[in-house]
Amino acid sequence: MTEIHSPDEAGEITKRAKEQNLPIFVLGGGSNTIVHDEGYNGIVVRNRIPGFEVISETPSETTIKIGAGESWDEVVKRTVDMNLTGIEALSAIPGTTGAAPVQNIGAYGQEVAETLVSLEAYDEQTDAIVTLTNEQCNFSYRNSIFRSNESGRYIILSITLRLYKSVPQPPFYKAVQDYLDQRNITIFTPKVIRDVVIDIRSNKLPDPKLRPNTGSFFKNAIIEEWLLNEIRKEYPEVPSYDMPDGTFKIPTGWLIEQAGYKGKSLHGMKVHDGNALVLINESAQSYADLAAARDEIIGAVRDKFRVMIEQEPLEI
């Protein structure tokens, strides 16, 4: 394992790895990564490249370049303190800024793809620093080229975000809107939304320092309209959200709960009784225990709904 603190160090470690014929795995905070029992036969690079710079400003927008090694939540806090909107709903997500585009992090109605202008990365194929535009990242729901066809090619060095000086506008994501309505909160600022999201997340997600977990273990399911209609025949109350491409998102936590697994313990893992997307390690001793629990849950949802749910954390 090694750390990099500059773009030059990214190039140096890549060249050394090639000389030794070793693969590289870039690690941010590690909160969304599962390591197999046998370890990783290569070089784990912890990205610690710093930086936070306002590079342009207009009466309505501020564009900021941020080092990939910065704490994501600290970045969100800084932008909220600047009274900027665009990523405030992504508060309290653990990890580094460079990891944010990899799976196109999203929560409570926002995704990093909505504000990301471009990013700089070290291209291991060409041994050069390149700039990739938002479009070149090929963002989709919890996905990008960095998790799909170009996995392992790039070391992200910095990202550039365009944020806005306008106030957040309702209606907000349902959980946030319900929270605001229940407390009669009618003044909306980036800080108000950040505080709401932090409170919701702290009550919904167990602290990994106290109860070992990787946050949401499964992605929310994306299904075709015909399958949603089939599910509605038996479950007319099924929650669903329209996606831009004509498909529909169903909360996977709801699917797991209907399959009877919410709060259930299996193979040393416990499905969180407050949020069925979360798996907590109670007594599992190996990766095999985790895999058995995961596969049983996936199979139960598939058998009941004909929906194949997918794991969210990366594996090495």
Q: What separation in angstroms does the CA of 203 have from each of 71, 156, 206, 224, 273?
A: 22, 32, 8, 32, 12
Alpha helices in the chain, H assignment, sequence order: 7-19, 72-81, 174-182, 190-204, 225-234, 252-258, 287-305
Q: Is 194 helix (H, G, I), strand (E, B) or coil?
A: helix
Catalytic residue set = 142, 216, 312
Sign of CA dihedral 279, 283, 287, 292: negative
DSSP 113: G
Contact 62, 53 (CB under 8 A): no
| Nearest of 79, 141, 76, 91 to residue 113 by alpha carbon | 141
Contacts of residue 19, defined as CB under 8 A and 6 or more positions apart, other chains included, come to none
